[in-house]
Amino acid sequence: MEVFTGSFTQQEPVPEAGIAAAVAVMRHGRLHRYNVADGEADETALLEQEFANLTGARYCLAVASGGYAMATALRALGVGQGDRVLSNAFTLAPVPGAIVSVGAVPVFVGVTPDLTIDLGDLADRIERSGARVLLLSHMRGHICDMDALMAICDRAGVRVVEDCAHTMGADWNGTPSGRHGVIGCYSTQTYKHINSGEGGLLVSDDAEAMARAVLLSGSYMLYARHRAAPPPETYADLRDMTPNISGRMDNLRAAILRAQLPLLGERRAAWTARYRRIEQGLAHTPGLTLIRRDAREGFVGSSFQMRLDGWAPDRIEQTLRRCAARGVDLKWFGAAAPVGYTSRYSDWAYAPTAPMPATDAVLGGLLDMRLPLTFSLADCELIARILRHEIAAVWQGG
């Protein structure tokens, strides 16, 4: 019986250029983004400039984490105590965490069987809640019909902040993920598309919102040193009214990331090839439902999801055990309690909400699997064979 021996948590090494740049920063010792020698451009400012160019945004800010980026985006838009903020019921805990951290109240929106936000439910909850901000999570890399979503939000006067932790390098109908709403937020945590261990980025074309974000991040009066931020005069009426909630990125992490930016296109193609190889290997597996992808969605296949619709929990648990025994690590969004990073809206006692039966039906059978680029295409074919065999065996009572 075949067994997979690879690691689902082993990422690619940092490129040699990134290692050399990081070593150079450590040698000169100027890790703080505002600690630069005369005539020197700091790595963080250069990263912001390069990422703004990559996404087509006017402004970019590098920060300490993706979660910090989302909370900063909300604060920059004036979200505060008691405000209601719409967000996906299917997401990971840092998203509602960002909402609660600014004193706001999450209003959860349902998920479709294709794992995107339910636009009908969104329109209904906008009307019923009175919320005027949507923190949209492109959860696990699934992008909804952004043209339809923005039409709904624009009509209702709802501003959109995009959580692009799983969609850096992706696009909807040719527009980069993060460029539909007023602010796009990205993560550079180890399991994301560029890796600095932790880190985050914000992009926007809104000068006032980005100026607030820069001040919030802890710029003091040094905002003129940024290369991809609004001009200094933008801060005149904001700097004395905006608190410093320090969360800057440092030059060491920025140096590591700059070397990875040019690789995003290549990595997107490599991830999507692995995703498609798994998808092909699982086609027509008894008892298994694959996730439909819209042709307009230019996704990055860095993880893989599938559904065991209508399966009893004990049979799903049996499937997980059987796959694990053969080296395939699956996460389950229908578990009775959070496990590792996997949780769902009903687990977040700090953000209580009424039951959502349609969403529960989707999440109840939802399985998730990382696809690191350290996997070869042959590895993906082996993983698909193992999954197909074990899922079919449990479905057929074997």
**Is 10 part of a structural domain of the chain?**
no
Per residue in 52-99, pLDDT (tens digit) is: 999 999 999 999 999 999 999 999 999 999 999 999 999 999 999 999
Distance of CA 319 to the CA centre of its chain: 27
**Is 11 part of a structural domain of the chain?**
no
Can you give the pLDDT at residue 40?
A: 87
Which percentage of the chain shows pLDDT scores above 70? Answer: 100
Q: Are residues 253 and 280 in the same domain?
A: no
Name 2's Cβ contacts closer than 8 Å, sequence gap at least 6: 326, 382, 385, 386
Can you give the pLDDT at residue 164?
A: 98
Please classify residue 225 by burial: count the beta carbons closer than 10 Å to its beta carbon, then call 0-12 exposed, 13-18 middle and 19+ buried: middle
The number of folded domains in the chain is 2
Q: Are residues 122 and 220 in the same domain?
A: yes
Q: Are residues 317 and 232 in the same domain?
A: no
Amino acid type, 192: K
Q: Say whether pLDDT at 13 is over 90.
A: yes
Q: Are residues 97 and 196 in the same domain?
A: yes
Per residue in 211-261, pLDDT (tens digit) is: 999 999 999 999 999 999 999 999 999 999 999 999 999 999 999 999 999
Q: Say whether pLDDT at 331 is over 70.
A: yes
User: 219, 242, 262 — which closes off a domain?
Assistant: 262
User: 240, 262, 284 — which closes off a domain?
Assistant: 262
Domain that holds residue 51: 16-262
Q: Are residues 202 and 281 in the same domain?
A: no
User: 262, 291, 314 — which closes off a domain?
Assistant: 262
Q: The domain that contains 238 carries what CATH number?
A: 3.40.640.10
**Is 234 part of a structural domain of the chain?**
yes
**Is 135 part of a structural domain of the chain?**
yes
- Report how far apart, in Å, the C-alpha atoms of 209 and of each of 76, 93, 203, 382, 391 are: 5, 25, 10, 48, 48
- Report how far apart, in Å, the C-alpha atoms of 130 and of each of 58, 75, 110, 126 are: 30, 18, 17, 6
Can you give the pLDDT at residue 236?
A: 96
Q: The domain that contains 310 carries what CATH number?
A: 3.90.1150.10
- How much is the mean pLDDT over the chain? 97
Per residue in 274-307, pLDDT (tens digit) is: 999 999 999 999 999 999 999 999 999 999 999 9
Q: Are residues 251 and 276 in the same domain?
A: no
Q: Are residues 159 and 141 in the same domain?
A: yes
Q: Are residues 248 and 270 in the same domain?
A: no
Q: Say whether pLDDT at 398 is over 90.
A: no
Mean pLDDT of 19-44: 95
Distance of CA 60 to the CA centre of its chain: 17
Q: Are residues 153 and 296 in the same domain?
A: no
Q: Are residues 304 and 349 in the same domain?
A: yes
pTM given for the model: 0.97
**Is 9 part of a structural domain of the chain?**
no
Q: Say whether pLDDT at 41 is over 90.
A: no
Token pair recorded at residue 286: 């008894």
Mean pLDDT of 333-354: 94
Q: Are residues 255 and 202 in the same domain?
A: yes
Three-class DSSP category at 335: coil
Per residue in 298-309, pLDDT (tens digit) is: 999 999 999 999
**Is 65 part of a structural domain of the chain?**
yes
Can you give the pLDDT at residue 39?
A: 85
**Is 104 part of a structural domain of the chain?**
yes
Q: Are residues 89 and 207 in the same domain?
A: yes
